[in-house]
Structure 1
Amino acid sequence: MFLNRLRREFPRSIRKYYTVNSNAVNKQQDVIAKDIQMQIKATGPITVAEYMKKVLIHPMGGYYMHKDVFGAGGDFVTSPELGQVFGEMVAVWLLNEWSKVGSPKPFQIVELGPGRGSLCQDVLRVFDHFGALKSASVSLVEMSPFLSDTQARRLCLNSNAIHDQQQPFYREGVTLQGAPIKWYRNIQDVPKMFTLLVAHEFFDALPIHKFQKTDKGFREILIDINREKDLEFRYIIARDETPASKLFADASDTREHIEVSPESLVLVKDLASRFEEDGGMGLIADYGHDGTGTDTFRAFKKHQLHDPLVDAGNADLTADVDFSALRKAATEEGKVLAFGPITQNKFLLNMGIEHRVKKLEENLDEEQKKILWSSFHMMTDQDKMGSRFKFLSLLPAVLDELLKKAPVAGFN
């Protein structure tokens, strides 16, 4: 229903690609490496999960905390930055599934890790176009002060930082469409109410533990000081079982190397409880695998692969998302139903992205058409983002009979 209306009615515009050049330069490039080195000297080798936390969200120089890392001038490009059509397909999915259950109000749109705010911007624009923002609020979960400021400038008529430590949010404002918006550091602080949730390229940055199979079973891979070069590090294999290997390494797993993200599993369980108790649904999009991945921990710097143990804090750290583990954790208590994962190619084509692109190009000049179709192919081609990225949806288990009659959009 909403997809057909979108094809007919939606404004014929296309976002111009741009890059924000940040003036926030990290003048203490070695602060993270020095901090990690001191910790290892004091307490011994650390887990990969501990290392990722330090590098990505360290308050003094964490990768995400003080600079713009997206776009041509950053270290990687995401689908929402390529053009408006990606966000439109996500918005139509949310509208479609929300309408199936009677469009309950009040409700909130929640995004985990909103980046520059491009995806949220497109989702809000589509919701506003269909008059669907009445009784709506927006909640963004964002750790980075720099990125929250970037998001606020893109999304808001006005916003203010909140310094009251008693408040669960640290920034609030009003979107361009008139909806109240707040920023939170943790999903646990987000209000309990009917929720339409999106997590795009969020889970890949959550900390992982790495385990290597040995003749004694799985042993955890740790990070130690590289004795040959100051402020650099090396991998070692723990001689004995660690708490993480006892809890998370499945001895029956046939892979030689496995990665587990406990924070991801806890988070999807929390989402499952939220959707069951207060209503809502979630769409998770990320690059990953369905339980077959092995050694995927890596870094990116200036769009190139980079050694994750070198130049800590100045390169993005990431690991493929284990969608099989997410699906199992979310559904094991029977609170939600999971659909997918399916490839980004299938999801976007099922949602009608090609029809939308053809509609958009009607009023574009030749150069704009080239940019539009180039973005389309980058997002959907199998040798680009089309197969690497996956989509997983979570909906309350109480909707089982309804969804048998009206299957989840995009996942048919």
Structure 2
Amino acid sequence: MTPLAEIIVQRIRATGPITLADYMELCLLHPRYGYYATRDPFGQAGDFTTAPEISQIFGELCGLSLAQAWMDQGRPAPFTLAEPGPGRGTLMADMLRAMRAVPGMAEAADVMLIEASAHLRGLQREKLGNVRHLDGIEELPDSSLFLMANEFLDALPIRQFQRVEEGWAERVVGLDKDGLRMGLAPPVDLPRAGRIGDIVEDCPAAVAVTGAIARRIAAHGGAAIIVDYGGWNGYGDTFQALRAHAPEDPLAHPGEADLTAHVDFAPLAAAAIRAGAEVSRPLHQGDWLLSLGAEARARRLAEAGDEGAMDALRRLTSRDEMGHLFKAMAIWPKGAPPVPGFDALRHHADDA
């Protein structure tokens, strides 16, 4: 049993079963034993590999997409350039390098990283220098905001509900003689249709974060690009753990595995619209990157001696790799041109 598992067991014995949201928050962010507090989880030596770690192509195209949105909105200066959950800082470094090709943009950017892990903050400073760190989205200033979020929302705590005869019962983490186990709380009423056994997931934190981002953009200008794996109005149990690049039981090693769930983009889009912003339909990551010129960039890198550039392009864009599982969605102010590669959700409601 891991040290964090012992803490969780003691809490359940004292106060009863806990929600998946509480379990995820403890496993990922416990100040001493939490997953992100104790390790560098990225790359081959870690537990998973994100798009920026596969190739600079991803970050460069994200940066150039935001750069075009910045120019389309009149080059506001200064402006906030933000990234929640910035990992090692690789994505921000690649975006800034691309933005330096746009006269005046990098100099006008006030870079802010939203990071809860003290360990990862140290890695980010090694990569980017003495950047400004924030604890949450709510600390972002009321100014023009250009934001990139890659694989951030999937790690936010979720709640799960399972359809039973009497309604929807929340899935909780409790105990049996062998340790942690999943169980069901008493049923409640939810405004969702479903058949017996169906599971739905709710991530209030993701909706709140998206709404806060969209409100700033609607009021002060800017743009946000959100990339994550997931879908639209999905059903099913997507709660998962990854350890050493392999899936495992999410209850097996608390604090030593990455815990995530698929992102439901439908409530995020609704939150952005309620906030007064324009929002795109979710696009397949592969389609979006290819529309921005990913193939041409990969070929130039290959011609310059990057032997892995074309393989990286395949991993980022192929439907059998990250190309279809991962989706990209953009937010921008009403009346402004769409973020490059996107168009407004209202024009494609049937395709979302």
Q: For residue 325 of structure 2, what is the amino acid of its counterpart?
A: R
Given that 2:160 and 2:201 are in contact with CA atoms closer than 8 Å, whether structure 1 keeps it comes out as yes
Given that 2:167 and 2:187 are in contact with CA atoms closer than 8 Å, whether structure 1 keeps it comes out as no
For 1:12-411, list aligned pairs within 5 A.
30-131=2-103, 132-156=105-129, 173=130, 181-225=131-175, 227-229=176-178, 232-241=179-188, 249-252=190-193, 256-333=198-275, 335-364=276-305, 368-369=306-307, 371-397=308-334, 399=335, 402-403=336-337, 407-411=338-342
TM-score by length of 2: 0.93
Note the aligned Cα RMSD (angstroms): 1.5
Unaligned regions of 5+ residues in structure 1, if any?
1-28, 157-172, 174-180
Given that 1:350 and 1:411 are in contact with CA atoms closer than 8 Å, whether structure 2 keeps it comes out as no
Given that 1:66 and 1:145 are in contact with CA atoms closer than 8 Å, whether structure 2 keeps it comes out as no
Given that 1:217 and 1:251 are in contact with CA atoms closer than 8 Å, whether structure 2 keeps it comes out as no
User: Between Structure 1 and Structure 2, how many residues are aligned?
Assistant: 341
Given that 1:281 and 1:396 are in contact with CA atoms closer than 8 Å, whether structure 2 keeps it comes out as yes
Given that 2:223 and 2:339 are in contact with CA atoms closer than 8 Å, whether structure 1 keeps it comes out as no
After TM superposition, give the deviation of residue 345 of structure 1 in Å. 0.8
Q: For residue 88 of structure 2, what is the amino acid of its counterpart?
A: R
After TM superposition, give the deviation of residue 268 of structure 1 in Å. 1.1
1:318-352: CA deviation from partner (whole Å, max 9, x where unpaired): 0000011111122134x111102010011100111
Q: Identify if the C-alpha distance between structure 1 residues 42 and 79 changes in structure 2 by more than 3 Å, giving closer, same or farther.
A: same
After TM superposition, give the deviation of residue 292 of structure 1 in Å. 2.2
Q: Identify if the C-alpha distance between structure 1 residues 238 and 100 changes in structure 2 by more than 3 Å, giving closer, same or farther.
A: same
1:98-141: CA deviation from partner (whole Å, max 9, x where unpaired): 11111111101100000011100001111123232122210000
Query: What SS class does the counterpart of residue 238 from structure 1 fall into?
Result: strand
Q: Decide which structure has the larger Cα Rg and report it.
A: 1
Unaligned regions of 5+ residues in structure 2, if any?
344-352
Q: Which has the higher contact order (CA 8 A, sep 6+)?
A: 2
1:286-339: CA deviation from partner (whole Å, max 9, x where unpaired): 001111241100100011111000110000000000011111122134x11110
Partner in structure 1 of residue 348 of structure 2: none
Given that 1:204 and 1:318 are in contact with CA atoms closer than 8 Å, whether structure 2 keeps it comes out as yes
Query: What SS class does the counterpart of residue 9 from structure 2 fall into?
Result: helix
CA distance in 2, matches of 1:283, 1:45: 37
Query: What SS class does the counterpart of residue 35 from structure 2 fall into?
Result: coil
Given that 2:168 and 2:187 are in contact with CA atoms closer than 8 Å, whether structure 1 keeps it comes out as no
Q: Identify if the C-alpha distance between structure 1 residues 102 and 253 changes in structure 2 by more than 3 Å, giving closer, same or farther.
A: farther
Given that 2:201 and 2:236 are in contact with CA atoms closer than 8 Å, whether structure 1 keeps it comes out as yes
TM-score by length of 1: 0.80
